[in-house]
A and B are shown apart, each in its own frame.
Chain A
Amino acid sequence: MQGRLAHFAQPWALHARTFRGSQMTQLRGKGTGLEVVLAGQPFDEALAELADRLGQRPQFYRGSEATAVFDVAEPDPEDVARLGLLLDEHGIALRGLAVCGPVADALEARREKRAKREVTLSDSARSLVADFAGARSDIAQRRRKGEPSVPRVDFRRKPEPTAEAPALRVVEAAPQTLYHQGTLRGGQSLHQVGSIVIVGDVNPGAELVASGDIVVFGRLAGTAHAGAQGDAAARIYALDLCPTQLRIATCIAADSTQRGNSEPEVAAVRENRIVIVSYRQAHTLEEEAVR
């Protein structure tokens, strides 16, 4: 019993129900249960009067539930406990507490004020609300039709052939050799389907891209990409090979070590790595390739 009363020792205002007009101790049936009104007089008197009223018909209320109505927002927990005990003696369970009188009016006023506060939505929020509403109705429709709420795409099924697509004809540029005389400076680049021959230096920051070989009759200090369309047999030749970066087909090499000797060198791909050999030993590359 005590435990159950402890349940009521909560903010009463939450359970508050409101009554208007003067109230005396009353016991009346309402809705699903009884309503015990203890207002307009000291609690002890009211409790005595209630005990009297209940005593007149000891068995009548047995098994019913009651709501106690006070005229204060927060009744003394001890009073509530005594009331609960009294009702329990007569087989009535105390289900809740309510409030009446001026306190109730104040609560009502506060609630009205709260209700009056208008919620305004920003444009974006309104559109979001509309979006959600639309999505909800969409999902509801799908559910009614027995479809899954999230559409599933069957990837295994091949797309049905649509109207005949215009044929794209790839015109292959015939491989040609680009001959460039002069220094290629930082920021400049040459792209060529075929091979590139440079007579001059290729400075850092310059870029050479060829689908075939690259030959630099000078210093190659920039970036060179030979076999750019996947030809791993492509080579890069230079009188002085000190590139920022070398690429042949899909292999990449960056050699930052400064070599003092500047003799003609060749870069080629061996075992998926770029190797650089002196041009005088270039025939070893051929021999390896034969083996």
Chain B
Amino acid sequence: MFDLVEVVEGRCQLRQALIKDKRFGDCLSILPAAQTRDKDAVTPEQFSSVVAQAAEQCDFVLVDCPAGIEGGFRNAIAGVGEAIVVTTPEVSAIRDADRVIGKLVERALPIRLIINRLRPEMVRTQDMLSVDDVCEILSAELLGVIPDDEEIIDMTNRGEPIALNPSMRLATIYDKIARRLEGELVPFTSFDSPGFFGRLFGALKAG
């Protein structure tokens, strides 16, 4: 198994290092980061060329960016064409996101926002910033909202993508985000109405 650093250093081809997900045939593959080397082993220029190579063979290249605005961040945003900022609706997280968006804007990257771990009940009692608040503060386009849910924690711990499990009630949320990335106009799931989960539970019970 090869990793990103070995691709960068020319010890293998990019296609040799890509690990395919068998569930999707040739559609989804992952390029692992080096476990034994740190971020300094790769320069932004090298990373940019790897992303460009990957972009030739793929429709979407998703780069998982480390938190912060240090070297890892600079590497990750080299060569990308769009940024998705994922933040929780907490004041401190939003300040960080604001800083990151500032850096991305300097690079003239289009930005879309995913709000993670939203708790509709807390928003209702005004203990948490609402989706609108966050979008307004960060003045960025919304790509999706992911509620804070036990199902997600459970599936993450088991290492299974929740989006592949249609029986999970949150699978549709990831599906919608993916469709919006493709350019579809998909209405947002409303978390504001008090009966959302109630209705969902009711529907599941009925079904």
* Residues of B8-63 contacting chain A, CB below 8 A: none
Q: Quick one: which of B95, B96, B105, B139 contacts A201, CB cutoff 8 A?
A: B139
- Are B139 and A186 closer than 8 Å at their CB atoms? no
* Residues of B87-123 contacting chain A, CB below 8 A: 95-96, 98-99, 101-103, 105
> Is there a chain A Cβ closer than 8 Å to B67's Cβ?
no
Q: How far is the CA of A268 from the CA of B116 in the complex (A)?
A: 41
**Residue of chain A at shortest CB distance from B139:** A183
- Are B98 and A204 closer than 8 Å at their CB atoms? yes
A174-196 toward B: CB 8 Å interface, digit per residue (1/0)?
00000000110111100000000
Q: How far is the CA of A204 from the CA of B139 in the complex (A)?
A: 13
Inter-chain contacts of A185 with B (CB < 8 A)? 98-99, 101-102, 105
Distance from A205 Cβ to chain B, minimum over Cβ atoms (Å): 6
Q: How far is the CA of A200 from the CA of B139 in the complex (A)?
A: 9
Distance from B136 Cβ to chain A, minimum over Cβ atoms (Å): 8
- Are A205 and B139 closer than 8 Å at their CB atoms? no
Q: How far is the CA of A289 from the CA of B120 in the complex (A)?
A: 50
Main secondary structure of the interface of A (DSSP, over half): loop
Interface centre among B98, B102, B137 (most CB of A within 10 A): B98
Q: Could you count the A-B residue pairs with CB atoms below 8 Å apart for me: how many are there?
A: 27
Q: How far is the CA of A185 from the CA of B85 in the complex (A)?
A: 14
Q: How far is the CA of A201 from the CA of B135 in the complex (A)?
A: 12
Q: How far is the CA of A152 from the CA of B54 in the complex (A)?
A: 75
Q: How far is the CA of A270 from the CA of B101 in the complex (A)?
A: 38
A268-288 toward B: CB 8 Å interface, digit per residue (1/0)?
000000000000000000000
Distance from B176 Cβ to chain A, minimum over Cβ atoms (Å): 26
- Also in contact, A187 and B139, with CB within 8 A (given A204-B95, A205-B95): no
Q: How far is the CA of A188 from the CA of B69 in the complex (A)?
A: 13
* Residues of A114-169 contacting chain B, CB below 8 A: none
Inter-chain contacts of A187 with B (CB < 8 A)? 99, 102-103
Q: How far is the CA of A24 from the CA of B156 in the complex (A)?
A: 105
Q: Quick one: which of A182, A200, A203 contacts B98, CB cutoff 8 A?
A: A203
Inter-chain contacts of A183 with B (CB < 8 A)? 139
Inter-chain contacts of B101 with A (CB < 8 A)? 185
Inter-chain contacts of B103 with A (CB < 8 A)? 187
Distance from B103 Cβ to chain A, minimum over Cβ atoms (Å): 8
Q: Quick one: which of A182, A188, A200, A203 contacts B137, CB cutoff 8 A?
A: A203
**Residue of chain B at shortest CB distance from A201:** B139
Interface centre among A182, A185, A188, A204 (most CB of B within 10 A): A185
Distance from A180 Cβ to chain B, minimum over Cβ atoms (Å): 12
B120-140 toward A: CB 8 Å interface, digit per residue (1/0)?
000000000000000001010
Q: How far is the CA of A205 from the CA of B137 in the complex (A)?
A: 13
**Residue of chain A at shortest CB distance from B105:** A185
Q: How far is the CA of A186 from the CA of B93 in the complex (A)?
A: 12
Q: How far is the CA of A204 from the CA of B98 in the complex (A)?
A: 9
Inter-chain contacts of A205 with B (CB < 8 A)? 95, 98-99
Inter-chain contacts of A200 with B (CB < 8 A)? 139
Inter-chain contacts of B95 with A (CB < 8 A)? 186, 203-205
B49-85 toward A: CB 8 Å interface, digit per residue (1/0)?
0000000000000000000000000000000000000
Q: How far is the CA of A72 from the CA of B105 in the complex (A)?
A: 96
Distance from A253 Cβ to chain B, minimum over Cβ atoms (Å): 21
B134-153 toward A: CB 8 Å interface, digit per residue (1/0)?
00010100000000000000
Inter-chain contacts of B99 with A (CB < 8 A)? 185-187, 205
Inter-chain contacts of A204 with B (CB < 8 A)? 95, 98
Inter-chain contacts of B102 with A (CB < 8 A)? 185-188
**Residue of chain A at shortest CB distance from B104:** A185
Inter-chain contacts of B98 with A (CB < 8 A)? 185-186, 203-205
Distance from B5 Cβ to chain A, minimum over Cβ atoms (Å): 30
Write 15 A-B pairs (CB below 8 A) sorted by A numbering. Answer: A185-B98, A185-B99, A185-B101, A186-B95, A186-B98, A186-B99, A186-B102, A188-B102, A200-B139, A201-B137, A201-B139, A203-B98, A204-B98, A205-B95, A205-B99
Interface residues of B (CB under 8 A from A): 95-96, 98-99, 101-103, 105, 137, 139
Interface pairs A-B: 8 shortest CB-CB: A185-B102, A186-B99, A186-B98, A183-B139, A185-B98, A187-B99, A203-B98, A188-B102
Known pairs A186-B99, A186-B102; list 13 more (Cβ under 8 Å).
A185-B99, A185-B101, A185-B102, A185-B105, A186-B95, A187-B102, A188-B102, A201-B137, A201-B139, A203-B98, A204-B95, A204-B98, A205-B99
Interface residues of A (CB under 8 A from B): 182-183, 185-188, 200-201, 203-205
